[in-house]
Structure 1
Amino acid sequence: MPTDTTAGSVPSRARKAREARVLGIGAYAIAGVCLLPMLAVLVTALSGGSDTLGHLADTVLPGYTFNTLLLVIYVAVGTFLIGTGAAWLVTMAEFPGRRLLEIALVIPLAFPAYVLAYAYTHVLDHPGIVQTGLRAMTGWGPRDYWFPEIRSLGGAAAMLVLVLYPYVYLLARAAFLQQSATTYYAARALGCTPVKACLQVSMPMARPAIAAGVLLATMETIADFGTVSYFGVQTFATGIYTSWFTMADRVAAAQLALGLLGFALALAVLERTSRGGARYHGGKRQEAMGRAVLIGWRKWVAMLLCGAPVLFGVILPVAALFAMGIGSEQNLFSRRYIQFLTNSLTLASVAAVMTVSAAVVIGYFQRLRPGKGSAAALYAARLGYAVPGGVIAVGLLVPFALFDNQLDAFMQQTFGIRTGLLMTGSIWVLVMAYMIRFLAAAIGSYEGGQATIHTNLDAAARVLGQSPYGLLRRVHLPILTPSLLTALLIVFVDVMKELPATLIMRPFNYDTLAVQAYRLASDERLEGAAVPSLVIVAVGLLPVILLCRQVGRQAR
Structure 2
Amino acid sequence: MMTISTVPAPRYGLSFLRSRFSDGGGWLAAATVIAGLVLAPIVALALIATQGSGDLWPHLAAYVLPTALHDTAILLLGVGLIVIVIGTGTAWLVTAYDFPGRAVLDWALLLPLAVPTYIIAFAYLDLLHPLGPVQGLLRAVLGIAHPRDLWFPDIRSLWGCVLLLGLVLYPYVYLSARAMFLMQSACIIEVSRTLGQSRWGAFYRVALPLARPAIAVGTSLALMEALNDIGASEFLGARTLTVSIYATWINRSSLPGAAQIALVMLAIVVSLVVIERWARRRQRYAVAAQRSRRTLPQRLGGAAGFAALAVGALPVLFGFVLPVVHLAAAAAARIGFAGLSPAIAQETMNTVSMAGVATAVTIGLGLSIAYTTRLMRSPLAGTLARVASLGYAVPGTVLAVGLLTPLAAIDNAVDGVARHVFSISTGLLLSGSGAALVYAYATRFLAIANGGIEAGFSKIPHSLDYAGRTLGQTAGGVMRRIHLPLIRPALVAATLLVFVDCMKELPATLLLRPLNFETLATHLYAEAARGTYEDGAVAALLIVLFGLVPVILLARMSRQPQLESSRPSSPGASSRTGSFRP
Distance 1:345 1:500 in 2: 17
1:300 maps to 2:317? no
1:92 maps to 2:99? no
> Alpha-carbon deviation of 1:280?
2.8
User: Corresponding residue for 2:267?
Assistant: 262
User: Corresponding residue for 1:312?
Assistant: 318
User: Corresponding residue for 1:341?
Assistant: 348
Q: Secondary structure at the match of 2:112?
A: helix
Relative to 1, partners in 2 of residues 1:354 and 1:93: Cα closer, same or farther, differing over 3 Å? Answer: same
> Alpha-carbon deviation of 1:209?
0.5
Q: Aligned pair count?
A: 551
User: Corresponding residue for 1:8?
Assistant: none
User: Corresponding residue for 1:540?
Assistant: 547
Can you list the C-alpha shifts for 1:233-263, whole angstroms capped at 9, x where unaligned? Answer: 1111111111111111011110111111111
Distance 1:294 1:267 in 2: 39
Counterpart pick for 2:245 among 232, 240, 258: 240
1:551 maps to 2:558? yes
CA contact (8 A) 1:341 1:513 kept: yes
> Alpha-carbon deviation of 1:288?
2.7
Taking structure 2 as the reference length, the TM-score comes to: 0.89
Structure 1 residues without counterparts, runs of 5 or longer = 6-10
Distance 1:162 1:84 in 2: 13
Counterpart pick for 1:398 among 384, 397, 405: 405
Counterpart pick for 2:123 among 119, 134, 139: 119
Can you list the C-alpha shifts for 1:302-328, whole angstroms capped at 9, x where unaligned? Answer: 112101011111111111101111222
Distance 1:120 1:445 in 2: 34
CA contact (8 A) 1:163 1:313 kept: yes
Distance 1:26 1:251 in 2: 32
- 1:123-134 aligned at under 5 Å gives the runs 123-134=127-138
Distance 1:169 1:236 in 2: 27
Relative to 1, partners in 2 of residues 1:365 and 1:274: Cα closer, same or farther, differing over 3 Å? Answer: farther
1:279 is matched by which residue type in structure 2?
Answer: R
Distance 2:111 2:270 in 1: 28
Relative to 1, partners in 2 of residues 1:275 and 1:427: Cα closer, same or farther, differing over 3 Å? Answer: farther
Relative to 1, partners in 2 of residues 1:114 and 1:480: Cα closer, same or farther, differing over 3 Å? Answer: same
Can you list the C-alpha shifts for 1:30-61, whole angstroms capped at 9, x where unaligned? Answer: 00010011111111112216854433111100
Counterpart pick for 2:203 among 174, 198, 201: 198
- 1:1-400 aligned at under 5 Å gives the runs 16-48=20-52, 52-136=56-140, 137-139=142-144, 141-274=146-279, 277-282=282-287, 285-329=291-335, 334-400=341-407
Counterpart pick for 1:443 among 450, 466, 481: 450
Of the structure 1 ranges 440-449 and 259-268, higher mean CA displacement relative to structure 2 is found in 259-268
> Alpha-carbon deviation of 1:371?
2.1
Of the structure 1 ranges 189-198 and 370-379, higher mean CA displacement relative to structure 2 is found in 370-379
Relative to 1, partners in 2 of residues 1:84 and 1:307: Cα closer, same or farther, differing over 3 Å? Answer: same
CA contact (8 A) 1:16 1:467 kept: no
Distance 1:504 1:208 in 2: 35
Relative to 1, partners in 2 of residues 1:479 and 1:70: Cα closer, same or farther, differing over 3 Å? Answer: same
Distance 2:444 2:539 in 1: 23
> Alpha-carbon deviation of 1:229?
1.4
Distance 1:238 1:23 in 2: 40
> Alpha-carbon deviation of 1:370?
2.2
Of the structure 1 ranges 263-272 and 21-30, higher mean CA displacement relative to structure 2 is found in 263-272
> Alpha-carbon deviation of 1:12?
8.1
> Alpha-carbon deviation of 1:387?
0.4
Give me the identity figure in percent.
42
> Alpha-carbon deviation of 1:331?
6.9
Q: RMSD of the alignment, in Å?
A: 2.5
1:211 is matched by which residue type in structure 2?
Answer: A
Can you list the C-alpha shifts for 1:386-427, whole angstroms capped at 9, x where unaligned? Answer: 001111111001332355468768978999855432221111
User: Corresponding residue for 2:579?
Assistant: none
Distance 2:6 2:167 in 1: 62
CA contact (8 A) 1:212 1:274 kept: no
Distance 2:419 2:191 in 1: 80
Q: Secondary structure at the match of 1:139?
A: coil
Counterpart pick for 1:522 among 516, 529, 549: 529
> Alpha-carbon deviation of 1:537?
0.6
Structure 2 residues without counterparts, runs of 5 or longer = 10-14, 564-582
Distance 1:517 1:4 in 2: 68
Taking structure 1 as the reference length, the TM-score comes to: 0.93
